[in-house]
Structure 1
Amino acid sequence: MDRYSQHYNRLVELIYQIPLSLNGWKNFGDHLNQILDSSLVHLLAMDFKRQALSYSYAVSIMPEALIASTEVHYLHYPVEADPRWTSFLAPERKGWYQCHHHLSDDYVAHSDLFQHVFLPIQVRYTSAHELILDEKICVLWGISTSLERQPLTEDELAFLDRLLVHLKRVVTIQRHIFEFSSKAIMGYALIDKLAQPIMLLNLTGEVSHCNLAMQQLLSQMKTIKIEKNYLKLPEPYQEKFSESLKYIEFSHKYQQLLPEQKLENGCIKIINQENDILYIFVSALLSEQEIRAFGIRPQVMLTFYSSKQSVTIDFHLLYAAFNLTPAESRITLDLLDGLAPKQIAQKNLVQVDTIRKHIRSIYKKTATNRQADLVKLLLNMPRYY
């Protein structure tokens, strides 16, 4: 008996609980991560008809807020930026796909996607297997490990093969949840996991979705409201917001605003009669992946921040306010905690020169020059610029 077989019965039991519990997939993923010392267990679906990611559920050893923010950031990249999809969907592939057979260490070292998105959440190696794969949809099961952990071994994959038949049964029964649906949009599910208040609108200003934190903020603040499904701000802020939407629509129509560009004046600062400040960060969802993940039309994501009513600074807020990558956001929060570059490097198991390179980028994006200035900025977060 191999060292994993003792866990087989418990894992099978957890698999068949997935359809019966809201936490079913999380319970299974947490248990598998612990057994394999893996970083991430991922259930991901692609709808071939729409060529869109239609479902994503990740269970990680990292904080859920970081994973959700990272997934939103991942959608910013075009599909072709992730070469793992091409290899995984190749007709000649059989059995497990393992990314290290296709992506060299040199490729990873020069990949913006790996350096800024995957490696910061301890994802270097990925092993994936289809659970459903036909002309309409692909549902894959992926297990990712860190650089230190190294890829899954043949013995580990053989053990996972024994679980595949059970997972395929469960996923087949629930096939409808993996297909693209106006009632179950992947992007909505992702922002529902984020702690910051977030609102999605189409380019006409019509509200399409609010996460729970946004719903709570609307109930607490009289400054903003939704009327006939349209966001209403006090003047002159409403006019400025309307102009921003027109600019985004015009720029997208004539392809003058690239997905990776940061909007100029992408922050609206509202001061009410009590001198309370509400910041609204405006992000255009213009990449093909973002459009498909959040519906079928370009949308705008509004991230709200009020020091009196919002939660503390997190990964998504740093991305919305300063366009920091997940890696930069994680280092920024460590700097806010008072850690020195060498301590951050030791904590994240990377070279100190790598941390210093990220810090230089952080200073540039936040218009600061040293750690003390950055901390002061964050303690008064956010600055209107």
Structure 2
Amino acid sequence: NQPIAIINLNGDILEMNAEAEKFLEHNTHIRIEQRRFYFEPHKQQIFEQHLLELERLHHTSSQVGYAERSQVMHLDHQLFLTLDLLCPEKTHKIFGLRPVLLATFSGLQHLPKYQKDRCTQLFMFTPVEHKICEQLLKGKTTKEIALLYEIQADTVKKHLQAIFKKTRTHRQSELIQLLMQLV
């Protein structure tokens, strides 16, 4: 089974399955203190930025699209943490129906090599879409991809929407899983 945890938007761990507990016992990249995940300083900053971004999206848009509900964090060359925003239909503080995040840990045996030829055959990606997919597979965020190619983050997101449409996926985590299956 997949190691997963349910956390709130502050990063507090609400629930964790047995696989996650076993996985975290033997992992050098993550530790748990006071029911919270702690990473090395640079990764901690990225984790907290992802939490803030997902919280901002929840508060600013009533209809958050599937694509925006996921944040993927590359912990090392073979480990990903995906944060998916889960929103009850009607969130209400009084009744305790608050959004939570599904934290999913995914490991790889080796760094996946982007399969450009297969993606061209299957999805007919543009050259820019290929570059974005390759960087996503390396664990880069949309902001990091924008900086790398010196384009606006919104431009990356527009291309990402086109990629989602071509691959019939709805969020980054689904796209990355699809790309990893093509390896």
* TM-score bin (small chain): 0.5 to 0.7
Per the alignment, residue 227 of structure 1 pairs with 33
Pair 1:284-2:75 in alignment:
no
Equivalences for 1:1-385 in 2 at 5 Å?
Answer: 195-255=1-61, 258=64, 260-263=65-68, 266-271=71-76, 276-288=77-89, 296-308=97-109, 363-365=167-169, 377-378=180-181, 380=183
Whole-angstrom CA distance in 2 between matches of 1:265 and 1:205: 15
Contact 1:202 1:299 in 2 (8 A): yes
Whole-angstrom CA distance in 2 between matches of 1:256 and 1:282: 19
Contact 1:263 1:283 in 2 (8 A): no
Change (3 A) 1:231 1:361: same
Change (3 A) 1:257 1:241: farther
Q: What is the alpha-carbon root mean square deviation over aligned residues?
A: 3.2
Q: Is there any run of 5+ residues in structure 2 with no aligned partner, and where? A: 110-163, 171-176
Q: C-alpha offsets along residues 125-163 of structure 1, whole Å, 9 cap, x if unaligned?
A: xxxxxxxxxxxxxxxxxxxxxxxxxxxxxxxxxxxxxxx
2:108 partner amino acid: S
Q: C-alpha offsets along residues 50-100 of structure 1, whole Å, 9 cap, x if unaligned?
A: xxxxxxxxxxxxxxxxxxxxxxxxxxxxxxxxxxxxxxxxxxxxxxxxxxx
Q: Which has the larger radius of gyration?
A: 1
Q: Is there any run of 5+ residues in structure 1 with no aligned partner, and where? A: 1-194, 309-359, 367-373, 381-385
Contact 2:91 2:98 in 1 (8 A): no
Q: TM-score, normalised by structure 2?
A: 0.55
- Tell me which stretches of 4 or more aligned residues in structure 1 moved more than 3 Å: 374-377
1:296: how far off? 2.7
Whole-angstrom CA distance in 1 between matches of 2:9 and 2:87: 11
2:42 partner amino acid: P
Whole-angstrom CA distance in 2 between matches of 1:244 and 1:257: 19
Contact 2:87 2:100 in 1 (8 A): yes
Partner of 2:98, secondary structure, is coil
Change (3 A) 1:202 1:265: closer
Change (3 A) 1:240 1:287: same
Q: TM-score, normalised by structure 1?
A: 0.28
Q: Percent identity?
A: 21
Q: C-alpha offsets along residues 310-349 of structure 1, whole Å, 9 cap, x if unaligned?
A: xxxxxxxxxxxxxxxxxxxxxxxxxxxxxxxxxxxxxxxx
1:199: how far off? 1.1
Higher RCO structure (Cα 8 Å, ≥6 apart): 2
Whole-angstrom CA distance in 1 between matches of 2:73 and 2:104: 10
1:234: how far off? 1.8
1:375: how far off? 8.0
1:201: how far off? 0.8
1:245: how far off? 1.0
Whole-angstrom CA distance in 2 between matches of 1:376 and 1:262: 16
